[in-house]
């Protein structure tokens, strides 16, 4: 039972255009969401996060949108740069104590930004 789904294994965009990476979740108890970026032979690095009490969070070129009713979040990268080429993982926390420090990850989306 995959609770966090990234249905696009890969995405290719042109430099300067917008990249939109999507993520769906099934567990309504998730209340905090994160995006990680991963380059080959490196560990995932934290990119941006959003709490379920918000619907948007922005950090420079990166914006995450959350639609709780649809259980959907997306990461927008504007403008896309070749250095953004990496695998992007969506991850979610379930709040409420107990196991709320465990992350559930999607399978990742490989973004390629072409010069």
Partner 1 sequence: DAGITQSPRYKITETGRQVTLMCHQTWSHSYMFWYRQDLGHGLRLIYYSAAADITDKGEVPDGYVVSRSKTENFPLTLESATRSQTSVYFCASMRQGVNIQYFGAGTRLSVL
Site membership for partner 1, residue 1 (CB under 8 A) = no
Among 25, 84, 88, 108, indicate the residue that binds partner 1 (CB under 8 A): 108
CA 34 to each of CA 31, 88, 95, 110, 111: distance values in angstroms, whole numbers, following the listed order: 10, 10, 14, 16, 17
Q: Which is nearer to partner 1, 50 or 113 (CB)?
A: 50
Q: Enter the tokens of residue 37.
A: 């970026």
Residues 6+ apart with CB under 8 A from 53: none
Site membership for partner 1, residue 53 (CB under 8 A) = no
Positions in the binding site for partner 1 (CB under 8 A): 6, 32, 34, 36, 41-46, 49, 89, 91, 93, 101-103, 105-108
């Amino acid at each position: 039972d995959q609770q966090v789904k990234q249905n696009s294994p890969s995405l290719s965009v042109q430099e300067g255009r917008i990249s939109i990476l999507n993520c769906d979740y099934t567990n309504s108890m998730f209340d905090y969401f994160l995006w990680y970026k991963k380059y080959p032979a490196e560990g995932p690095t934290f990119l941006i996060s959003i709490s379920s009490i918000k619907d948007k969070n922005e950090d420079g070129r990166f914006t995450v949108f959350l639609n709780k009713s649809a259980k959907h979040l997306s990461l927008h990268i504007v403008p896309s740069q070749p250095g953004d080429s990496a695998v992007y993982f969506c991850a979610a926390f379930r709040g409420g104590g107990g196991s709320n420090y465990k992350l559930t990850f999607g399978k990742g989306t490989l973004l390629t930004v072409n010069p």
